Amino acid sequence: MSYDFELSCTLPASPEEIYDAWLSSSGHSAMTGSPAKASKKTGVAHSAWDGYITGQNVELMPSEKIVQTWRTSEFAENDPDSTITLTVTPLKSGARVTLRHSGVPDGQTSYEEHGWKEFYFEPMQAYFASRGKTAKPKDGKSQ
């Protein structure tokens, strides 16, 4: 058996910045504070938290949506991968990130209770806040 849950937070960053950081090895590592490997290509493997999390990119919609298979080293060998769907919605002062985590093995409620908040949302809020709220787009023009 497994279960699904949904969490969200607001970040002081544009959808593009969040998408780019999540799918960049250096960006993901910087925003979480732990080694990660990431790619902007569908079908490519990813890992985070120094290999504690592994999976594969399933669907990528630039600056809008990231779907990845996701498993931790705490999953039993016979547990199927879970799936995360990260959607990013622009706001006047940043973006709202909504995370849907589905297929989580029963008994692993720590991800919903505090894992995502402590190891992703809080570090991401600090990371993007430290970068400033008026980041420049890739073309160098201010927003």
Residue 71 within any structural domain of the chain: yes
Q: What is the DSSP string of 58-103?
A: EEEETTTEEEEEEEETTS-TTSPPEEEEEEEEEETTEEEEEEEEEE
Helix (H/G/I), strand (E/B), else coil: 30:
helix
Evaluate if residue 47 carries a pLDDT over 90.
Answer: yes
CA separation for the pair 39, 141 (Å, rounded): 26
- Cβ contact 59:65 at 8 Å: yes
pLDDT tens digit sequence for 64-100 = 999 999 999 999 999 999 999 999 999 999 999 999 9
End-to-end, the C-alpha distance of the chain in Å comes to 47
Structural Rg of the chain based on CA atoms? 15
- Percent residues over pLDDT 90 in the chain: 81
Residue 142 within any structural domain of the chain: no
Tokens of 6: 């949904």
Region 106-118: mean pLDDT is 83
Q: Which pLDDT score is estimated for 138?
A: 43
- Percent residues over pLDDT 70 in the chain: 92
Number of domains the chain contains: 1
Beta bridge partners of 69: 83
Domain range for 85:
2-130
Tokens of 91: 């706001």
Residue 62 within any structural domain of the chain: yes
pLDDT tens digit sequence for 13-35 = 999 999 999 999 999 999 999 99
Q: Which pLDDT score is estimated for 134?
A: 44
Which CATH number belongs to the domain containing residue 22 in this structure? Answer: 3.30.530.20
Q: Which pLDDT score is estimated for 114?
A: 83
